[in-house]
Structure formats: structure tokens, C-alpha cells
Amino acid sequence: MRIWNTVCLLLVLANFATSADWPHWRGPFQNGTSLETGLVSEWTKGGQHELWRTDFIGRSTPVVLSDRVYAIGRTGKDITEQEQIACFNADTGQLLWEHKFNVFHTTIPFNRVGWASPVGDTETGNIYVHGVQGMFYCFNAEGKILWSHSLTEEFGRISGYGGRTHTPFVDGNMVVISYLNTSWGSQAPTRHRYFAFDKNSGEIIWISTPGGPPKDTTYSVPVVTEINGQRLLVAGNADGSIYAMDIRTGEKVWKFALSKQRGLSVSVVADGHLIYASHGEENIDNTVMGRVVCIDGRGSGDITRTHEVWRLDGCMAGYSSPALSQDQLYVVDNSANLYCISATTGRQLWIQNIGTVGKGSPVWADGKIYVTEVNGHFHILQVGPSGAKIVSTVQLSVKESIEDDKDKPERNAEIYGSPAVADGRIYFTTEEGIYCLGQDDSLSPVLQLIPAEVVLQPGEELDFKLTTSGHGNVVTWSSSGLAAKISEGKLVVNPQATGHAGTIHATVGQSKATARVRVIPPLPWEEDFETVVVEKIPTHWIAASGKFFVRQEGDNKILVKPPAKRGLNRSVVFLGPPTMSGYTIQIDLKGTRNKRRLPDIGLVANRYILDLQGIHQRLQVRSWSSDLRMADHIDFKWEVDVWYTMKMKVVIEEEQAIVQGKVWKRSESEPDNWNIEVRDPLPNQTGSPGIYGYSAAEIHYDNLKVENSNNTVLKGAE
């Protein structure tokens, strides 16, 4: 149970990083393991379980933080060659931002640019990057540089041809970076030193020089563990030893010598007070090449001879860092042999070959091991009680450049980095691109946008609520057809907007939620249809589509309701919300003849209909069309192919509705009196204004107006 207790401790030390993040190159537990389940067991390039791939040239390990993937790589050709940090949408692979920077003050060749991995801070969301030229950057999540240091020019950082560049490490309020340097005063002698910077300001907190003269440049990344109540920073050093330092001050606590000839590049793994390390050179105390060792970190001073728990000699693992899961240590040696070693006893349990050159570090997750091999291989191994079986191998290849002859054979794409496991997916970078693997439905969360439909006024604001199930929570907001702006779920309608409708969209991965928005301005309204596209309708009207359309008639546009090709000829179009009251509605209208058939034409207010009936040649007011509960009518003879104007008003007075209507030829003056007035003792208090039509023959409408009434009955019907 000790290992899983340590996992719980590391969760605290990692600022409560969740399994959905991979902020450190060895994961949230610093040991190359993940608690994720349901991960893929196989994939094919460009096919099954490859969720996305994006062009990118990388050789280190990406990190994943808050549904963004960050990777360091190289870009350009000849005079445009640069190093870069890029940020991708974890769901889609879309490039969100990138920062390119020049390479200088180094002899590192271009194919080794982008050596170090970025590191993310789970507290602030900031990303820290160490380039091969010694530029040390702090970016925020949007790609803004918050602070930077030129480690070479400020502190005499040393860079060798080999390309070895250290990955930063975040702990608490500090970001720690190590490198060989020769500076001034006490730091004039060349040593492998550790620099702790304030992660927010970039100020130096402490500098530690725990070791002696370096034997080589290295790239071992520190880890943090708590031993005897003291939090220690533990790392391999360029002098061939492992050192533990007090994380608060950088003061050396103990030393464990391991390599006789070379510095240590392998990052250690900590499980409480037990430290696991390896190297691939001649041992300090015999001539055997390579060793995996377990150290009891509860000592002080030089603990080389006193605190070794066990050793496994002959395992030349000088590049790849171990993964530790459930009392088993997984180590890849320089020849790409995967060892499984008992973390308790050091006994070799099994060995599995995965290629020829092993430099990428293995990751254990979901009972499987994900591991890369330099010559373009990405392996997935299923781990069993007595061994591991390779269940998937994909070979990646690349041309020297995009300008290469198409007939020229491709070569293996180099892979030096390790996988990152986050949110049910596997991410890794190669010389050929950056990949995301996962279950094919992992990018399809179920989304719900609330409210799903809403009516707003110009200038009004509304915060939409998005609920999601499944993986991913990076939301892309957009709108269609709206005179409005949407950002982080807040919709702001243009104050000058007229009546219209559209949609807003929230996209997560390949899933999209849509909400419908009608924008209805306050009264008065006027619509002459001149700005409406021919054969279309005002977009915010209800129940008009497919039944009404705008037609160009000479220099004028009109609204037309033709006889229905299928279905019913009777339609009501609603223009506003059902809560409206106290308005007057008016429209110009014209009926035509279809053989012996005539249309009925009318208006709607407060859920009452004013209907100019064709066959009956009368003007009717009604609410319940089938029962005619309060209906009444007058005879009204009207002519086809003649424009009339109709006006309707409903007044609520003394607990009854007074429904008034009038119709007159458009070429004549409006009469003073209402043609019809009907009283309803059970009034409809509110209701949307609307247009009515029974198109047994074609109906034409124009010059719609809706305005506030004074709610006073001035004159009754004749």
C-alpha cells in the first residue's frame, strides 16, 4: 500500500492536479503512471483511435493542462530555423497559439532543438519553457510572456553539442531549473547548479551547488518527495551522483554516488523515502556497465555505502526514466529492452524487447504500458502477471523535407519523447507530427445549452449555462445570424438591432450544442419587407416558414401567402412574445381569386382573430375558431385584387376584453370609427400580435405596423 499512499501525497504536492491533466513530463505523480482507465489498446495511423494529428516537429514530451496541449519543437528551414512552443486544443488539435524564438549562443544542431519538455503550473495555468539557447520563459495560458531570463547571458549557462537541456520543475511558489554554468565569484567554477525562481515574478529564491566538477552535460529532471517530515528535491547530477536538497533553501541533505564516468541524465522516481535511479555507464564500485538502484532516502551526508536497498547491475538504462506502478518498476535500457523489476526486492521479473534504441520513457496506465522507440515505433503493451505482450505497434516515417522527391523513400521518424496521458487520451510528439489517441467517442460529450430557446431585446445580455458529460471542457462559442456578440457563454445583443433571429453554438471537441435566440425590439414595429431577402421571411417570426414568403413586385416587395401545395391553407404567424398587451396592429392586405375560391385574411391580437372572410363577405372577430365562444361578425363586402388596410386593437376594461377592428381601402382615408367591436367577459389578457390567412387563393400583405395603444376606447363600432 506504500506506493498508493505516496500517490495520494503527490496529489497534494501537485496542487491537486487531476487525472485530466498531465502537467509534468512524467505526469501528475512524477512517476510515469496515470489513474486513467478505458484507454486504447491499439490504433492505426490515420484510422482507428487516432483522434487527431497535427503537423509539428518535436522530440520531447508534451504536457496537458486545462484541455490544452503544450509542446516544444523546432520549425523553419535554413535562415528561418527557430525553436518554438506551441499550444493546441486538446480536443481537436487546433493550434491556439505559438511562440517562435531564435537559437543563439549554442553549438546544438537544429535536429536537437526542442530538447526539453515544458511544464505546467496547475495553480496558475502558466507554462514554463527552457530553450536550447538558454531562454527561460513563463507564459500564461494565452501565450503572453509574463517574464523571462536569458540563462546563458545572465548566469553563464553552458550548452554542449549533444543538445541536453533540462526540463523545469514546479513546486509550490517556485519553478526550479538546473544546468551547468560558470558565472562569477563563488559560481565561477563550472558546476551543475539548481536555480529556484519565484514562479510568478521570476525572481531568484535560491541557488544550490550540491555536487563537484561535472563529467558531462545532462538532463535529469528533479522530483519532490517528503522524507521524515522534510520535503526534498531529488535529482541526478552531472558529477555522476544523486543529490537530495531541502526544497525550501536548496541546501544539500545527502549524496549517493552512482556513475563513474558520466553525469546522470535519467530522472529518478520517488516512492516516499525510497528513491529509484538508473544509469548506463561504468558503475562507481565495479566495472559492470549500468545499474538500477533503490536508495533509502532517510539518511544525510554521503549515503552511498549505507543506504542502498538493492541493486540490479548490467541494466544499461542511461536515457529513459523509470515508471513505477503497483510495486513494479518499468525500465527501458539503451537497447530498447523493457525490464520489469520488483520495486521491493530488485528482482528482475521479466524483459521484453521493443526495438533497437530506447530513449523515450515508458508510461503505465490502465494495465498497459505506452512507450516509444527512437526509430519511429509507438508500442502498446498489455501487462500481465508473468510478462507483457505487445498488442499494438505503429511505425511512423517521414521525408527529409516537404520538398523531397515524392519517389524518394521515407525514413523512420525519430521519437525521443514520452507519452502524456490525460482525459482518456494519449498524446505524444514525433519528428513527423503531434498525435492524440483515444476512444473514438471520447470527443463526443453530450452537451446541453440552457436556455435552449430565448427571446431577448436589443441591448439585453444573457449568460447561457452549458452542461457537458464526457471528456473535454474547452468550449468554443460562436453565433450565427445574430446581431450580437458571444464570449464565454455571455450573449450581448446589439442595442441597435431590429427584429431577427439566429443561433448560438457551444462546441466541445466534435460535439456542439445550439440555442435559438429571437431578438424582438420594443414597440413600435414597422415592416415593409424591403430589407427581407426575396423568397424569405423575417427570421424571428413564428410559423411563417414554408407558408409565407417575400416577393418582388415591381419596385416594391410584398409578403405572399400562396395556396398550400400540401397540408392546410389556414395559418397564423406570431410576431412577438405571448406576454404582449396594449398594442394596435395594422397591415395592408389584398386577396385574389382562384377560380371560385376566395381567401380569408386577417390579424391577430391578444389571441383574438380579426378575419376578413372571402366566401362569406363578412368581417368576423373570434378566439376559439371551432366553438366560436365569443365570436361575432358583420357583413362586409370587399373586392379581390384591391389593397385594403386592416387595423385591430384589444382593450382590457372592467374585467372584459373589447376587441375592435376596422378595414378600409388603402387608397382612401382611415375611417374614424371601428367597423366591429366585440366584448368578451372572459378576456384574453395578453397574446402575441400576428397575421392570419386562409389561402384558398393567394394573399398579399404589406406595410405591417404594431404600436402601443393608449388603451382607451375612443369610438365604438358603427
User: Cα–Cα distances in Å, from 619 out to 265, 295, 485, 649?
Assistant: 94, 99, 46, 14
3-state secondary structure of 476: strand
d(CA 209, CA 227): 21
Position 475 scores a pLDDT of 86
Q: Please give the DSSP secondary-structure letter assigned to residue 13.
A: H
Spell out the domains of the chain, with CATH numbers in brackets. 446-519 (2.60.40.60), 525-708 (2.60.120.560)
Compute the C-alpha angle 374/380/386, nearest 5°: 115
> Quick one: the chain helix, strand, coil %, rounded to 5?
5, 45, 50
The DSSP bridge partners found for residue 254 are 244, 301
CB count, 10 Å around CB of 604? 23
CA atoms 35, 41, 46, 48: torsion sign: negative
- pLDDT-above-90 percentage for the chain: 84
Position 510 scores a pLDDT of 73
3-state secondary structure of 325: strand
Worst-scoring range by mean pLDDT, 198-207, 265-274, 673-682, 707-716?
Answer: 707-716
CB count, 10 Å around CB of 399? 15
Position 469 scores a pLDDT of 62
Residue 17 confidence class, pLDDT cut points 50, 70, 90: very low
Tens of pLDDT, residue by residue over 63-107, are: 999 999 999 999 999 999 999 999 999 999 999 999 999 998 888
In the predicted model, what is the mean pLDDT of the chain?
91
d(CA 66, CA 422): 10
Position 442 scores a pLDDT of 47
Residue corresponding to grid cell 404567424: 573
- Rounded to an integer, the average pLDDT of 317-331 is 95
The DSSP bridge partners found for residue 359 are none
Task: Return phi, psi of residue 294, to 5°.
Answer: -115, 130
Residue 4 confidence class, pLDDT cut points 50, 70, 90: very low
Q: Please give the DSSP secondary-structure letter assigned to residue 95.
A: E
Tens of pLDDT, residue by residue over 581-612, are: 999 999 999 999 999 999 999 999 999 999 99
User: Cα–Cα distances in Å, from 389 out to 244, 379, 438?
Assistant: 37, 10, 20
d(CA 233, CA 255): 12
d(CA 318, CA 340): 16
- Give the strand pairing for 490-493 and 434-438: unpaired
Side-by-side strand order, sheet with 618-622:
570-574, 690-694, 600-605, 608-613, 618-622, 632-635
Worst-scoring range by mean pLDDT, 234-248, 270-284, 408-422?
Answer: 408-422
Residue 400 confidence class, pLDDT cut points 50, 70, 90: low
